A and B are shown apart, each in its own frame.
Chain A
Amino acid sequence: MSVVIKNGTVLDRRGEQRGDVRIADGVVTEVGANLSGDVELDASGCMVSPGFVDLHVHLRQPGREEAETIETGSRAAARGGFTAVVAMPNTEPPHDSLAVVQMVRRLGEQAGLCEVLPSGCITMGRLGETLAPFSELAAAGVHIFTDDGTGVQDPLLMRRALEYGKSLGIVLAQHCEVSRLTEGAVMHEGGCCSRLGVPGWPSVAEELMVFRDIELSRLTGAPVHFLHLSTAKSVDLVRGAKAEGLLVTAEAAPHHFTLTDESLSGFDPIFKVNPPLREAADIAAVKRGLADGTIDAIATDHAPHVSESKEMPLDQAPPGMLGLETSLALSISELGLDLGQVVALLSWRPAAIAGVADRHGRDIEVGAPANITVFDPDLNWRVTAAGLASKSRNTPYAGRSVRGKVRHTLLRGIPTVIDGEAQR
């Protein structure tokens, strides 16, 4: 069976070119004019790009299936244009054993909506005390190791993790938060939390760990990836480290370039996230970092929560917000970048960090695995919580008008989304 994506504009590293794309047996078989196939997908007015890769999603399974499952999260991912997602390890139990990692991968395959790449824990139970079995997990295909949700506090343990992991070719990804400085913290520390009488999460708690890990990367020669950068100074630190040629990469989440701490002035926990929403100057710095390549990838930190938990008092509600189905639109609407830059941040650059550049983010040429996203960059739409495929509803963007929408997504040549509708 062949699939042809018709009347679109192919957009990849090489630039834009008009043309139809024919796919068979999971790979691109022809790019050209007036192609035909068994299934034809219209792409008029749309970009046909390599599939998106999200370095940072919480799929909640195992343990929190009431908020999201690997299947529902994969469906949200496919609708957001993602063909691969890195599943964060803070499940119950966490990704510190072969059994859990293999189960996550298998459930992803069964759902068949995107490739689910389990991350591994840096420390057993994410407790920051002893290392997880890196080589056993790496042998099972785990590439990114992180204790996300919490940072590795002990600098000696982090050094050892970098040294030990270096020979395995894996990447350690840090959630930068010196937890002693954020005990009880609810939102960004600044003028807004001062007025609201809410405990603050100071920017320096992130920046200290970014600085520490840059220096540990220098010391060990091992790569470090920085998760969800949120402050201007963090972006500057990473920019400086890259200028020195250090092996650091970084991601930023859409909410950190679209929303400020002022969003919390009505005390709605829907806006509570970790690291917290910061100030306009931080947003500007994150945008600059995305524009100049300091930040390598847009990653959603998709964090589903059941509605009851977001109806708790602000200081008790869990942090996190949905992201998979709004990431492309917010990136197009808010960053002011060329579409080529936006797709780089969503596709081939995160694919390289995730270690899946052999099959995701590839240029659309004959022989390439057909992991492809077709999106309309000009379609205006309004976000509604009920319109999302995620099992949870905690989007901070409900009611917001945005531009750019995924139309079709193909995973290994099979359409997982057609005209915005998930196919399974």
Chain B
Amino acid sequence: MKHLRSIDELGPDGLRHLLDLSDHMAEVNRRPIPKVPALRGKTVVSLFFEDSTRTRLSFETAAKRLSADTMTFSVGTSSVNKGESLRDTIETVAAMGVDAFVVRHKSSGVPWQISRWTEASVVNAGDGWHEHPTQALLDCYTIRTALNRPEGFDGLHIAIVGDIKHSRVARSDVWAFAAMGARVTLVAPITLLPPSLEGWPVEVVHHIDDIVDKVDVLYMLRMQRERMHEALVPSLREYTANFGLTPDRAERLQTHTLIMHPGPMNRGVEMAVDPSELPGSVIAQQVTNGVAVRMAVLFHLLGSGSGLAGEA
């Protein structure tokens, strides 16, 4: 495998392999000196055309723990809007000798375009509304470890709640959870669903109360405030009333149900309850696991098979 641009191109076997590899990376991260020489001499460039502190830091930490050299190229989206050629940017940076580009862009598909212009590996760190495959991997890894499901998610019921239409996290998670064997239910008003769900391995309900006491994982998406101005929901108050996790609903969760969120959270909107008071919340673990999962991805794409032994 050369690139990680979507969950689909990873496939179920690739997904499981990366989760197994993430276990090894988590073990590295628990060492007193959490650093191995596996990617020494490799260069990883973070190309963030859209701000994202947490994903960028997570990738850079992952690359450094594998001893790769890292460069960061942060570009305001404005320069692209002014007609700056994306291709020129890529070819210029690639000419410095790059093994992998980690790309975040507000436009769907940019990682595909970049992969046509460079020999380097391309890792999608989030493109538009399209995909965010390493988020889906860390979500799977978090569920797998928290619910002790190393074999897969058969019999698990996962609900993804909120703005599916504009969510790259949902577009990766749906396919990843389904590939792991889970039953996936989307919970959203029709205005926040994609125009067509034909071929999606999901069920749909339009009220969180329909599923809150039935699911094993409740995955809450961020509700962006600007959606109100597009007549997608009448008000945030009404959104919270129908789709938010409130204290009342938290009471109705099964004791083993995991609460997840990709961050950053909108307190009082989709999370109308303090997540630190929810025993099932694994939101902090998601962030922690992100590093191990991204190490697994970089190692899988760039590693020469030298293993994880030794210290850098």
Chain B: minimal CB distance from A193 (Å): 7
A312 to B197, CA, bound (A): 28
In this assembly, does B294 line the interface, its C-beta being within 8 Å of a C-beta of chain A?
no
Say yes or no: A197 contacts B113, CB within 8 Å. no
In this assembly, does B61 line the interface, its C-beta being within 8 Å of a C-beta of chain A?
no
Interface string of A185-208 (1 = CB under 8 A from B): 000011101111110101000000
Say yes or no: A197 contacts B80, CB within 8 Å. no
Say yes or no: B112 contacts A312, CB within 8 Å. no
Chain A: minimal CB distance from B80 (Å): 7
Say yes or no: A267 contacts B86, CB within 8 Å. no
Say yes or no: A316 contacts B80, CB within 8 Å. yes
Chain A residues in 8 Å Cβ range of B128: 197-198, 315
In this assembly, does A313 line the interface, its C-beta being within 8 Å of a C-beta of chain B?
yes
Say yes or no: B129 contacts A197, CB within 8 Å. yes
Known: A196-B108, A316-B107. A191 touches B198 (CB 8 A): yes
Say yes or no: B83 contacts A198, CB within 8 Å. no
Say yes or no: B195 contacts A200, CB within 8 Å. yes
In this assembly, does A66 line the interface, its C-beta being within 8 Å of a C-beta of chain B?
no
Chain B: minimal CB distance from A299 (Å): 29
In this assembly, does B310 line the interface, its C-beta being within 8 Å of a C-beta of chain A?
no
A190 to B197, CA, bound (A): 9
A312 to B80, CA, bound (A): 8
Say yes or no: B85 contacts A315, CB within 8 Å. no
A308 to B86, CA, bound (A): 9
Say yes or no: A197 contacts B105, CB within 8 Å. no
Contact of A311 among B113, B168, B194, B197 (CB under 8 A): B113
Say yes or no: B196 contacts A191, CB within 8 Å. yes
A346 to B108, CA, bound (A): 37
Say yes or no: A198 contacts B130, CB within 8 Å. yes
Identify which of A190, A196, A309, A315 gathers the most chain B CB atoms within 10 Å of its CB: A196
Chain B residues in 8 Å Cβ range of A315: 107-108, 128
Known: A195-B171, A197-B128, A197-B130. A313 touches B110 (CB 8 A): yes
In this assembly, does B32 line the interface, its C-beta being within 8 Å of a C-beta of chain A?
no
Secondary structure type dominating chain A contacts: loop
Identify which of A197, A266, A308, A312 gathers the most chain B CB atoms within 10 Å of its CB: A197
A312 to B88, CA, bound (A): 10
In this assembly, does B199 line the interface, its C-beta being within 8 Å of a C-beta of chain A?
yes
A313 to B90, CA, bound (A): 13
In this assembly, does B81 line the interface, its C-beta being within 8 Å of a C-beta of chain A?
yes
Chain A residues in 8 Å Cβ range of B107: 313-316
Say yes or no: A268 contacts B130, CB within 8 Å. no
Chain B: minimal CB distance from A92 (Å): 15
In this assembly, does B60 line the interface, its C-beta being within 8 Å of a C-beta of chain A?
no
Chain B residues in 8 Å Cβ range of A194: 194-198, 200
Closest B residue to A193 by beta carbon equals B195
Say yes or no: B196 contacts A197, CB within 8 Å. no
Chain A residues in 8 Å Cβ range of B197: 194
In this assembly, does B131 line the interface, its C-beta being within 8 Å of a C-beta of chain A?
yes
Q: How large is the interface on A (under 10, 10 to 19, 20 to 34, 35 or more residues)?
A: 20 to 34
Say yes or no: B196 contacts A314, CB within 8 Å. no
In this assembly, does B54 line the interface, its C-beta being within 8 Å of a C-beta of chain A?
no
Known: A197-B130, A266-B112, A267-B112. A312 touches B86 (CB 8 A): yes
Contact of B195 among A202, A308, A309, A316 (CB under 8 A): A202
Known: A196-B130, A312-B86. A268 touches B196 (CB 8 A): no
Interface string of B183-213 (1 = CB under 8 A from A): 0000000000011111110000000000000
Say yes or no: A197 contacts B198, CB within 8 Å. no
Chain B: minimal CB distance from A338 (Å): 37
Known: A313-B105, A316-B81. A197 touches B171 (CB 8 A): yes
A309 to B85, CA, bound (A): 8
Chain A: minimal CB distance from B162 (Å): 15
Say yes or no: B196 contacts A190, CB within 8 Å. yes
In this assembly, does B109 line the interface, its C-beta being within 8 Å of a C-beta of chain A?
yes
Chain A residues in 8 Å Cβ range of B237: none
A313 to B198, CA, bound (A): 26
A397 to B112, CA, bound (A): 20
Chain B: minimal CB distance from A40 (Å): 48
Say yes or no: A313 contacts B80, CB within 8 Å. yes
A189 to B67, CA, bound (A): 45
In this assembly, does B249 line the interface, its C-beta being within 8 Å of a C-beta of chain A?
no
Chain A residues in 8 Å Cβ range of B198: 191, 194
A96 to B294, CA, bound (A): 57
Contact of B85 among A190, A191, A267, A311 (CB under 8 A): A311
Chain A: minimal CB distance from B164 (Å): 10
In this assembly, does B17 line the interface, its C-beta being within 8 Å of a C-beta of chain A?
no
Within 8 A of A (CB), among B253-279: none
A196 to B175, CA, bound (A): 13
Chain A: minimal CB distance from B160 (Å): 15
Within 8 A of A (CB), among B99-126: 105, 107-110, 112-113, 116
Chain B residues in 8 Å Cβ range of A313: 80, 86, 105, 107, 109-110, 113
Chain B residues in 8 Å Cβ range of A312: 80, 83, 85-86
Chain A: minimal CB distance from B168 (Å): 6
Within 8 A of A (CB), among B125-151: 127-131
The 8 closest A-B pairs by CB, nearest first: A267-B109, A197-B130, A313-B107, A197-B129, A194-B194, A191-B196, A267-B112, A191-B198
5 contacts between A and B (CB under 8 A): A195-B194, A196-B109, A267-B109, A267-B110, A313-B86
- Using a CB–CB distance below 8 Å, which chain A residues touch chain B? 189-191, 193-198, 200, 202, 266-268, 308-309, 311-316
Other than A194-B200, A314-B109, give 16 A-B pairs with Cβ distance below 8 A: A189-B195, A194-B198, A195-B200, A197-B129, A197-B131, A197-B194, A198-B128, A200-B195, A267-B112, A308-B85, A311-B85, A311-B87, A312-B85, A313-B107, A315-B108, A316-B80
